[in-house]
Amino acid sequence: MLILGGTAEARTLAAALDDRAGVRVVSTLAGRIAEPRLPRGEVRVGGFGGPDGLAAYIRQEGVETVIDATHPFAERMSWSAFAACDQTHTALLRLERPPFERDAAIDWHEAASLEDAAALLPAAGRRVFLTTGRQGLGAFADVRDAFFLVRCVEAPDPAALPPDHELLLDRGPFTVAGELGLIDRHALDVLVTKDSGGELTQAKLTAARDSGLPVIVVARQSRPDTETVETAAQALAWLDHAG
Ligand code: NAP
């Protein structure tokens, strides 16, 4: 079994499968983060070299099932898994947490892309809590007349940062009290987030709601049409059924 990982759900699934006898499970990570949270069991780090490389790996290792548990915004890996599984006639399951639930108490603005989110600034707010991550930060590099508190796990390319910013290197899960503290200390007046979903990233939305901040939510992009479950428990049930 091959788990394409990089998420909490992937780690939960790997831990559950690690206890099972007679199943070889390999979790894979892209290798972008210097000190990633490692899943339990066997781990492979680094890309495969596109769909053909993944297909070759599947054949070579005799992979029978691929579980694409990558982040909702890791689109390239998902499309690659879709193509490679199609090519090798391998079973594919997508494990993807649902998007954030829209909260009527939040002034909620949906953006189709990071660029569209950037275009809403500074009109939507001049003190921005930017939590969309290191990749794609360049979309905000030209936004002037706004201060950004940029939170990422690892330092981004300095050229991608907006002119007026403070960089906060930190990794969740975050608490509502911690997020409220940041909003207060930096006098933030708008939150920008990807529609990552999941409880681990919910605190910032709760804090934004409690502080009356508008939220700009970058929508998920289109995905391959694959059988999908939302939790590791559902993935286990699917695997039991499929097996
Ligand atoms: P991406 O754009 O879809 O992937 C870029 C390339 O990285 C892929 O084509 C693949 O290289 C390699 N790759 C990605 N995920 C991999 C995995 N799990 N195992 C092996 N190779 C992988 O993905 P991304 O947005 O850069 O995200 C990279 C990783 O970080 C993913 O594993 C994702 O789950 C995790 N992550 C992403 C975000 C986010 O906001 N994008 C947030 C949290 C965690 P090859 O083509 O060479 O195979």
Output the pLDDT for position 49. Answer: 98
Distance from the alpha carbon of residue 29 to the mean position of ligand 1, in angstroms: 7
Q: d(Cα 30, Cα 33) in Å, to the nearest integer? A: 8
What ligand 1 atom has the least distance to the C-alpha of 194?
40
Mean residue pLDDT of the chain comes to 95
Tell me: cis bond preceding 224? Omega within 30 of 0 counts: no
Ligand 1 proximity of 223 Cβ (cutoff 6 Å): no
177-211, pLDDT tens digit by residue? Answer: 999 999 999 999 999 999 999 887 899 999 999 99
Distance from the alpha carbon of residue 30 to the mean position of ligand 1, in angstroms: 5
**33 pLDDT band (50/70/90 cuts)?**
confident
Q: d(Cα 8, Cα 220) in Å, to the nearest integer? A: 18
**58 pLDDT band (50/70/90 cuts)?**
very high
Alpha-carbon separation of residue 210 from 170, 182, 204 (angstroms): 22, 13, 10
Output the pLDDT for position 243. Answer: 55
pLDDT surpassing 60 at residue 241 = yes
Nearest CA to ligand 1 atom 13: 30
Output the pLDDT for position 200. Answer: 79
Best CA proximity match to 132, nearest among 116, 144, 10: 116
Best CA proximity match to 183, nearest among 212, 218, 156, 159: 212
How far is Cα of residue 242 from the mean position of the Cα atoms in its chain?
Answer: 27
9-32, pLDDT tens digit by residue? Answer: 999 999 999 988 889 999 999 998
Best CA proximity match to 68, nearest among 42, 30, 36: 30
Of 33, 68, 70, 222, the one to substitute when testing ligand 1's pocket (max ligand atoms within 8 A of C-beta) is 70
Ligand 1 proximity of 8 Cβ (cutoff 6 Å): no
167-181, pLDDT tens digit by residue? Answer: 999 998 899 999 999
